[in-house]
Structure 1
Amino acid sequence: MDELVNRLTAAAGLDRAKAEAAVKTILVFLDKEAPADAVKELVDAMPGADKALEQGRKESDGSDYQGFGAMAAYHALTAAGLSGGEVQIVTKELLAHSRETVGEETTGRIVGSVPGLEAFV
Structure 2
Amino acid sequence: MDELVNRLSNAAHIDRAKAAAAVKTILVFLDKEAPPAAVKELVDAIPGAASVLDEGRAEAAESPGYPGFGAMAAYHALTAAGLSGGEVQVVTREMLAYSRDAVGEETTGRIVGAVPGLEAFI
Q: TM-score range by the shorter chain?
A: over 0.9
Q: Distance in 2 between matches of 1:75 and 1:118?
A: 17
Q: Which residue of 2 aligns with 1:95?
A: 96
CA displacement 1:34-75 (0-9 Å, x = unmatched): 000000000000000001101111112353332111000000
TM-score (norm 2): 0.96
Partner secondary structure for residue 76 of structure 2 = helix
2:99 aligned partner, one-letter code: S
Q: Any runs of at least 4 consecutive aligned residues in structure 1 with deviations exceeding 3 A, and if so which?
A: none
Partner secondary structure for residue 81 of structure 1 = coil
Q: Which residue of 2 aligns with 1:119?
A: 120
Q: Which residue of 2 aligns with 1:20?
A: 20
1:70 aligned partner, one-letter code: A
Q: Which residue of 1 aligns with 2:106?
A: 105
Question: Is the CA contact (8 Å cut-off) linking 1:42 and 1:98 kept in structure 2?
Answer: yes
Question: Is the CA contact (8 Å cut-off) linking 1:8 and 1:93 kept in structure 2?
Answer: yes
Q: Distance in 1 between matches of 2:70 and 2:52?
A: 22
Question: Is the CA contact (8 Å cut-off) linking 1:41 and 1:102 kept in structure 2?
Answer: yes
1:90 aligned partner, one-letter code: V
1:9 aligned partner, one-letter code: S
- Where does structure 1 lack aligned partners over 5 or more consecutive residues? none
1:10 aligned partner, one-letter code: N
Partner secondary structure for residue 67 of structure 1 = coil
Report how many residues are paired: 121
Q: How does 1:3-42 map to 2 (within 5 A)?
A: 3-42=3-42
Partner secondary structure for residue 100 of structure 1 = helix
The answer on 1:84 being equivalent to 2:85 is yes
- Where does structure 2 lack aligned partners over 5 or more consecutive residues? none
TM-score (norm 1): 0.97
Displacement, 1:18? 0.7
Q: Distance in 2 between matches of 1:118 and 1:81?
A: 23
